[in-house]
């Protein structure tokens, strides 16, 4: 009887200790993730700073950086309107923000997007499912080749028209904008682009102009495009 009487309190203490360990581990993970986030943000917005600035300074630099990227995006949208018209995809920064919020909301609602592990204390540890990222980057050969062609030709057009300099082709906002433009195409338009020769692709639409005969342009080294996203 005495051993059974001690088993109950001992089990309760073990459960409480396990809950405390889980909470400490979760808090440590959150602190590590936050530190990594600020370190990555500092590398992007304060690349010349050797010391770790205060967090408010990093956030202030990030605000200015985002405004600069929005200016680039505005020029990309202007070029899109010239070459493609405003028939497909967003046409303004407000529409881009609304589309981003919509896509982020849809991703957060996906049943397979997160995996919840329940504990005895009722807390859930939310982890991103690795299978999702694998599925998102698993592309068919033909669509990937078409997207690669579209990506490189779009970068060349942006550089040729003066919207981008060769040194700006690696900016994340550029790759995301081109990827978003591709995602906005209908399946028919993608298929039509795939069947067209490179010089006669539907990228330019009716407003696109071909290369002038005297055009002297050295093809830059273009960065690889981001993975083609599956809808």
Rounded Cα distance, 133 and 113, in Å:
9
Q: Give me the half-sphere count of Cα atoms (radius 13 Å) on the Cβ side of residue 146.
A: 21
In-domain check, residue 120? no
Identify the CA nearest to 147 among candidates 91, 74, 41, 225: 225
In-domain check, residue 16? yes
Rounded Cα distance, 192 and 167, in Å:
31
Rounded Cα distance, 71 and 146, in Å:
29
Q: How many domains would you assign to the chain?
A: 1
Rounded to two decimals, the pTM is 0.38
List the beta bridge partners of residue 124. 118
In-domain check, residue 46? yes
Q: Which pLDDT score, from 0 to 100, does residue 227 have?
A: 53
The Cα-based distances of 127 to 83, 112, 124 in angstroms read: 42, 11, 9
User: Do residues 76 and 177 touch, judged by C-beta distance below 8 A?
Assistant: yes
Q: What's the chain's Rg over C-alpha atoms?
A: 25
Nearest 5°: phi and psi at 128?
-70, 135
Q: Give the residue carrying structure tokens 């995809």.
A: 89
In-domain check, residue 136? no
User: b/e map of 120-158 (b: 16 or more CB within 10 Å)?
Assistant: eeeeeeeeeeeeeeeeeeeeeeeeeebbebbbbbbbbbb
In-domain check, residue 40? yes
DSSP-assigned letter for residue 118: E
Q: Which pLDDT score, from 0 to 100, does residue 94 have?
A: 83
Q: Which domain holds residue 16?
A: 1-53
Q: Which pLDDT score, from 0 to 100, does residue 192 have?
A: 75
For the chain, 231 residues long, the average pLDDT of each consecutive 10-residue run is 65 87 90 87 81 86 86 82 72 81 71 46 44 44 69 83 79 79 80 60 41 38 52 49
In-domain check, residue 22? yes
Q: How many CB atoms lie within 10 A of CB 168?
A: 14
In-domain check, residue 18? yes
In-domain check, residue 191? no
Quick one: how far is CA 230 from the chain centroid?
13
Q: Which pLDDT score, from 0 to 100, does residue 95 have?
A: 82
Q: Which pLDDT score, from 0 to 100, does residue 143 have?
A: 61
């Amino acid at each position: 009887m005495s051993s059974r009487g001690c088993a109950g309190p001992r089990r309760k203490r073990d459960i409480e200790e396990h809950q405390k360990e889980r909470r400490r581990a979760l808090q440590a993970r959150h602190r590590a993730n936050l530190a990594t986030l600020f370190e990555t943000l500092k590398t992007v917005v304060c690349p010349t700073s050797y010391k770790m600035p205060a967090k408010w300074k990093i956030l202030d630099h990030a605000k200015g950086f985002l405004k600069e990227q929005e200016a680039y995006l505005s020029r990309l949208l202007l070029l899109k309107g010239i070459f493609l018209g405003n028939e497909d995809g967003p046409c303004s920064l407000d529409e881009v923000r609304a589309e981003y919020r919509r896509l982020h909301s849809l991703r957060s609602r996906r049943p397979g997007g997160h995996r919840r592990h329940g504990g005895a204390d009722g807390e859930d540890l939310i982890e991103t499912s690795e299978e999702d990222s694998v599925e998102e980057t698993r592309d068919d050969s033909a669509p990937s080749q078409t997207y690669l062609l579209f990506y490189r030709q779009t970068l060349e057009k942006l550089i040729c028209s003066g919207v981008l300099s060769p040194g700006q082709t690696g900016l994340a906002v550029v790759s995301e904008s081109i990827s978003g433009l591709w995602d906005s195409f209908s399946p028919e338009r993608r298929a039509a682009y795939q069947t067209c020769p490179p010089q006669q692709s539907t990228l330019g639409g009716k407003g696109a102009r071909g290369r002038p005969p005297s055009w002297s342009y050295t093809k830059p080294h273009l960065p690889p495009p981001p993975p083609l996203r599956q809808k």
